[in-house]
Structure 1
Amino acid sequence: MSENWGFDTAAIHAGTAPDPATGARQVPIYQTTAYVFKDAAHAARLFGLQELGYIYSRLTNPTVSALQARVAALEGGAGAICCASGHAAQILALFPLMGPGRNVVASTRLYGGTITQFSQTIKRFGWGAKFVDLDDLDALRAAVDEDTRAIFCESISNPGGYVTDIPAVAKVADELGLPLIVDNTLATPWLCRPIEMGATLVVHSLTKYMTGNGTVTGGAVIDSGRFDWSASGKFPSLSEPEPAYHGLVFHEAFGNLAYTFHSIAIGLRDLGMTMNPQAAHYTLLGIETLGLRMERHVANAQKVAEWLEKDPRIASVTYAGLSSSPWNATAQRVYPKGAGALFTFSIKGGYDAAVTLVDELKLFSHVANLGDSRSLVIHSASTTHSQLTDEQKTAAGAGPDVVRLSIGIEDAADLIADLDQALAIATA
């Protein structure tokens, strides 16, 4: 991290300094579309990628740039690209790597919207996806073929809170010469730094824990800067001449920042998945307290999960922080600070009991979000995962009797009391 700072110091200071024009200590919101060039030669150099600077806010903006620098520092990356949402970040992450007929191998344990994006939407680009259980490394190897261009997983998965053994998956990706993309939204860099474990790229929905207050949407792609894009010939966007820039070869010209520059100069330019500067400002403010919040999130989640597991009205709890979880050993080894704050539980009484519980909770907010400072609840099978088949819902941990909790930073005793009264009604 910047200046070898600790996490909480970097969360406040990385990527920012007092504004040189005014001395403003907080990062200003540069609410502007375009930037005045010094002269015609300056403009030509900027457009030709011969000089760094600001051209147009679809590409770069000083407020967004500050956020990119902070996120890259926290994740230990060489560079970062911020964009409009977590879903935008996933497409942006794949864009330089894929092409018609190419595929990505992805975990079966993903957010339902990601499964839909990968199994349906990316077909329109001519891309494909294969889904495998990444606990089975042999199945991962078998799924990869000559057209595979990336492996994708979530560090801690939505909705079940299952944890991925990132070092093991990264080792396989390295053996196969493929980039590993890790969605680190639920863990955040406070719990897990995938790049240090071998990941090539990290993606985030900044909407969640990183901002932490449910005010904006945003996404990020963090580039490790460690992958050799020219080694295999599989990534021509980065290793071969780019027609739009007079034959510029990104990997040759920009080295370990080739992916970052390509994602801005090509990805944001042509896909337009731009983050607005006010959203970047709110996210910068949120990140300042990320470490404090995550510590409370995780402590509360552990208390609530332990209470639920002991309750006779509950059939099962998926939280990897429980000693009974089959993922507990992985969680302790890969995520030593805790197993996150999102998990599911199955309620006795099936679908009807699950939806009744959701309706009867008072303190938990029933919303399609997670990672807020407030505790949140949703019935995934009828909402976030409703587009999936029954088999896909089960594989993703979103069965009909399953309720998902995102544990906030309130007093844990109050959260438990709310669950207790709602369970009494739902299982009566």
Structure 2
Amino acid sequence: MTDAPSYGFDTLQIHAGARPDPATGARQTPIYQTTSYVFRDADHAAALFNLQEVGYIYSRLTNPTVAVLQERLATLEGGVGAVCCSSGHAAQILALFPLMAPGCNVVASTRLYGGTVTQFSQTIKRFGWSATFVDTDDLDAVRDAIDENTRAVFCESIANPGGYVTDIRALADVADAAGVPLIVDNTTATPYLCNPIAQGAALVVHSTTKYLTGNGTVTGGAVIDSGNFDWSASDKFPSLSAPEPAYHGLKFHETFGSLAFTFHGIAIGLRDLGMTMNPQAAHYTLMGIETLSLRMQRHCDNAIKVASWLEQDDRVDYVTYAGLPSSPYYERALACYPKGTSGLFTFAVKGGYEACIKLVDALDIFSHVANLGDTRSLIIHSASTTHRQLTPEQQEAAGAGPNVVRISIGIEDPDDLIADLDQALTKACG
């Protein structure tokens, strides 16, 4: 596309990054199911391996189908580049990998997906990294948590499972003042509802498995680079600012400028960590993104209708949907997420843990699965599943207490969803 920034979101979600196939004229992006690519000659091969020329070497690093998805995501998020990988969890490690070193830490929100809390509190310790968890609504607490070894601040734009909305601009200002990047997981909001880079985020991560693909078929992840962070402003990020031994002393930031993080993510991250997205997964995700705005608006419209009904039901203690006027995040949501606050939220069932289990088992339309962002409506009892490994205190902080269920509202008829919840609540609380 030419002059892509002048096009609207609905156009870009279909066309960004995609061009007719030069060999066949195919309009849809082909699935380039190949491991490797023929070099023109020995000099061409050497230039590619030396990062002197951009091209395709081996599909662990780059693939034409995946490249279209990377360009589309970068365009929709307002970034300069993107790196796609095998899952959202892989994207988080890929985002941290160039920033961290043994002894370094990341300051992370307490309101994160349970698997992310486990990854940050347990798994990254094996790399010698650590995480400090704070309530990101308390900006003073965030400032106090940042120390000389902090290399990033991490949050979710709309938090899973509770649907809490983050004031990204305020958090970005704190991170900027400390000289560290803000990383925002934009999975639940998607670029249709929220643009973290425009609000000051340095990096955006996604589980493309969720709303971007939208149909529960493939896993995937992505890291989008804003191109705005100065990796050479201090000595905190030597992987990007200092000579790289594997490339004869090349300095990524000096050589590639605003694309330093993107090039490092491919040339070092994918090369050595091998978290590759396969081309068929990229193809499914590209097809999903073509209808992203249509689906997200329906998710939001359905969610507010279902959440409003639940809030009035005597069998429900509370609902966390930020789109409700009763939510403490309602004014923030109107200001920061004017199109809506996605389709994800929780509600507390009177009767506690046992009632939640009965509710989940009694539903017909809702699917009991460990996923979100599907066209289908989904439900899960987080305390016994996705957040099971956390302590009770961590579960409560994440909005996943024993009396709480998480629902991901799909694009079905909302009246049918309400009827399904009604009959299931009767069985659970009767």
Q: Which residue of 2 aligns with 1:16?
A: 18
Counterpart-to-counterpart distance in 2, 1:11 and 1:316 = 36
Counterpart secondary structure, 1:423: helix
Aligned to 2:285: 283
Match of 1:378 in 2: 380
Give the drift of 1:89: 0.1
**Deviation string for 1:390-428 (max 9, x for gaps)?**
000000001111010000000000000000000111111
- Which position in structure 1 is the counterpart of 2:402? 400
The alignment status of 1:417 with 2:419, answered yes or no, reads yes
Separation in structure 1 between the aligned mates of residue 330 and residue 132 of structure 2, nearest angstrom: 27
> What stretches of structure 1 of length at least 5 have no aligned partner?
none
1:262-341 equivalences under 5 Å are: 262-341=264-343
Identical aligned residues as a percent: 76
Q: What does 1:37-56 correspond to in 2, within 5 Å?
A: 37-56=39-58
Q: Which residue in the other structure is 1:357 paired with?
A: 359
Q: Secondary structure at the match of 2:39?
A: coil
Gaps of 5+ in 2: none
What are the within-5 Å matches in structure 2 for residues 164-179 of structure 1?
Answer: 164-179=166-181
Separation of aligned partners in 2, 1:316 and 1:174: 36
Aligned to 2:138: 136
- d(CA) in 2 for partners of 1:44 and 1:159? 48
Amino acid at match of 1:401: N
The corresponding residue for 2:233 is 231
Counterpart-to-counterpart distance in 2, 1:101 and 1:416: 50
Deviations 1:107-150 (A, max 9, x none): 00000000000000000000000000000000000000000000
SS in 2 for 1:81: strand
Residue aligned with 2:415, SS: helix
Structure 2 letter corresponding to 1:134: T
Shift, 1:232, TM fit: 1.0
> Shift in Å at residue 339 of structure 1?
1.2
Matches within 5 A, 1:141-180: 141-180=143-182
- Normalised to the residue count of structure 1, the TM-score between the two structures is 1.00
Letter in 2 for 1:130: T
Separation of aligned partners in 2, 1:85 and 1:419: 31
Pairing of 1:60-209 with structure 2 (within 5 A): 60-209=62-211
SS of match in other structure, 1:399:
coil
Q: 3-state SS of the aligned residue for 1:46?
A: helix
Residue 347 (str. 1) matches residue 349 (str. 2) = yes
The residue identity in structure 2 corresponding to 1:216 is V
Equivalent of residue 213 in structure 2, options 208, 211, 214: 211
Distance 1:3 1:107, change over 3 A: closer
Aligned AA (2:209): T
Q: Which amino acid counterpart does residue 56 of structure 1 have in structure 2?
A: Y
Q: Provide the rounded CA distance (Å) in 2 between the counterparts of 1:3 and 1:97.
A: 29
1:167 alignment partner AA: R
- The answer for the alignment partner of 1:31 in structure 2 is 33
Alignment partners' CA distance in 2, 1:356 and 1:163: 29
Q: Number of residues paired by the alignment?
A: 428
RMSD across aligned positions (CA): 0.6
Q: How far is the alpha carbon of 1:250 from its aligned partner?
A: 0.3
Match of 2:263 in 1: 261
SS at match of 2:296: helix
State the secondary structure of the residue aligned to 1:353: helix
Structure 2 length as normaliser, TM-score?
0.99
Output one character per residue of 1:23-43: Cα deviation in whole Å (capped at 9) or x when no partner. 000000000000000111110
State how far apart, in whole Å, the 2-side matches of 1:2 and 1:223 are.
Answer: 18
Q: Which amino acid aligns with 1:407?
A: I
Q: Secondary structure at the match of 2:83?
A: strand
TM superposition shift of 1:3:
3.9
CA distance in 2, matches of 1:144, 1:283: 36
Structure 2: how far apart are the matches of 1:378 and 1:201? Answer: 29
Aligned partners of 1:230 and 1:3: how far apart in 2? 28
Report deviation, 1:340. Answer: 1.2
Distance in 2 separating the partners of 1:418 and 1:267: 45
Per-residue deviation, 1:329: 1.1
Please point out which of 5, 8, 21 is paired with 1:6: 8
Alpha-carbon separation, structure 1, partners of 2:350 and 2:426 = 12
Runs of 4+ in 1 over 6 A off after TM superposition: none
Per-residue CA deviation, residues 174-221 of structure 1 (Å, 9 max, x unaligned), is: 111110000000000000000000000000000000000000000000
Partner SS state of residue 316, structure 1 = strand
CA distance in 2 between counterparts of 1:12 and 1:3 reads: 14
SS of residue matched to 1:343? strand
Matches of 1:104 and 1:329, distance apart in 2: 29
Letter in structure 1 aligned against 2:167: D
Partner SS for 2:204: strand
CA–CA separation in structure 2 for the residues paired with 1:254 and 1:141: 31
